[in-house]
């Protein structure tokens, strides 16, 4: 299910126990599920995602580019970047920590972390042996505190532990930069700029020419480039983002199908319903009622 995740709807969408809710922080532990169609689970989060591969491995598309995440590695996904799990090994186990924009804005170090271009284009991090031990200890403590009963100092303890973990990750990136300072390629620039455009305009503009003009490229070049580099054409990406918006509105709001159709700038609800069923295989109503 393709979804836009927020710090408010993530608990409902992932069935996280609301009694464990901590303002600005969500912790989720997941394992491989046989038959899970991972390619149907792209998501955007309005905060920062830290994904810790505990066992096994997984392949994922982060910001349109594919990566393999192996046991012990960390994936850091900055706000509003697309994350899509493509496959997992049968023994895969992953712990995900989500930090809201409000939480990030409270700590200057995290703001700098989120704006770091190196992290954007090198989202998968491997730690040294000593750092790995510290990471495991901090992650274990974070889980224990997160799942403990509510107490006056629980939130404060959890925040300090998360900041300590983030400081460890930031330090590792600093050391990495000394040896491998990434240079953003023209390919990355085009993908990045296109991503920002469709994130903003996908529900308003569905013309290939609009995006090509904004990027100062010919429609044919942009179409060919995106198909080669991302596996999807411009129109497929526009449909993809629009469908994500639609699924989120259906699952996390009480808006009628007509209201959602209008919000997504479809001419008629019937056009929206045909669009939704063509791409998802189910009508908006069936999808909304599906558990």
**Structure letter (DSSP) for residue 132:** H
**What residue segments make up the domains of the chain, in order of their start?**
3-179, 186-289
Strands, sheet with 48-55, edge to edge from the N-terminal-most edge strand: 25-31, 93-99, 48-55, 74-77, 124-125
**Hey, what CATH topology would domain 186-289 get?**
Arc Repressor Mutant, subunit A (1.10.10)
Sign of the C-alpha dihedral computed for residues 110, 112, 116 and 120 taken in this order? positive
pLDDT in tens, the chain (291 residues): 346 677 777 877 777 777 778 888 999 988 877 655 444 457 878 789 999 999 999 999 887 788 999 999 999 998 878 788 888 999 999 999 999 877 887 787 787 777 677 788 889 999 999 999 999 999 999 999 999 988 999 999 999 999 999 999 999 888 775 555 555 678 878 888 898 888 788 888 889 999 999 999 999 999 999 888 777 888 888 898 888 888 878 887 889 999 999 999 999 999 999 999 999 899 999 988 875
Closest CA to 238 of 251, 218, 228, 223: 223
Q: Does domain 3-179 have CATH number 3.20.20.70?
A: no
Closest CA to 92 of 52, 50, 51, 57: 57
Rounded Cα–Cα distance for residues 244 and 5 (Å): 10
């Amino acid at each position: 299910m393709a979804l836009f995740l927020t710090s408010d709807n993530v608990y409902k969408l992932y069935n996280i126990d609301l009694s464990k809710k901590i303002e600005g922080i969500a912790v989720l532990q997941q394992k491989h599920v046989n038959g899970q169609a991972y390619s149907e689970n792209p998501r955007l989060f309005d905060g920062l995602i830290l994904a810790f591969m505990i066992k096994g491995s997984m392949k994922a598309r982060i910001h349109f580019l594919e990566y393999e995440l192996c046991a012990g590695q960390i994936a850091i996904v900055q706000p509003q970047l697309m994350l899509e799990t493509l496959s997992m090994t049968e023994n895969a186990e992953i712990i995900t920590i989500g930090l809201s924009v409000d939480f990030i804005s409270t700590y200057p170090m995290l703001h700098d972390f989120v704006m770091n271009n190196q992290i954007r284009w090198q989202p998968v991090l491997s730690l040294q042996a000593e750092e790995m031990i510290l990471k495991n200890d901090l992650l274990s403590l974070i889980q224990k505190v997160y799942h403990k009963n509510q107490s006056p100092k629980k939130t404060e303890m959890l925040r300090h532990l998360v900041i300590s973990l983030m400081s460890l990750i930031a330090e590792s990136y600093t050391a990495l930069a000394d040896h491998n300072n990434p240079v953003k390629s023209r390919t990355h620039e085009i993908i990045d700029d296109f991503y920002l455009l469709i994130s903003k305009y996908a529900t308003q503009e569905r013309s290939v020419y609009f995006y090509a003009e904004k990027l100062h490229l010919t429609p044919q070049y942009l179409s060919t480039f995106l198909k080669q580099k991302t596996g999807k054409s411009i129109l497929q990406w526009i449909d993809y983002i629009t469908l994500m918006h639609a699924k989120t509105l259906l699952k996390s709001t009480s808006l009628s199908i007509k209201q959602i159709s209008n919000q997504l700038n479809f001419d008629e609800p019937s056009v929206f319903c045909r669009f939704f069923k063509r791409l998802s295989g189910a009508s908006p109503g069936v999808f909304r009622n599906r558990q």
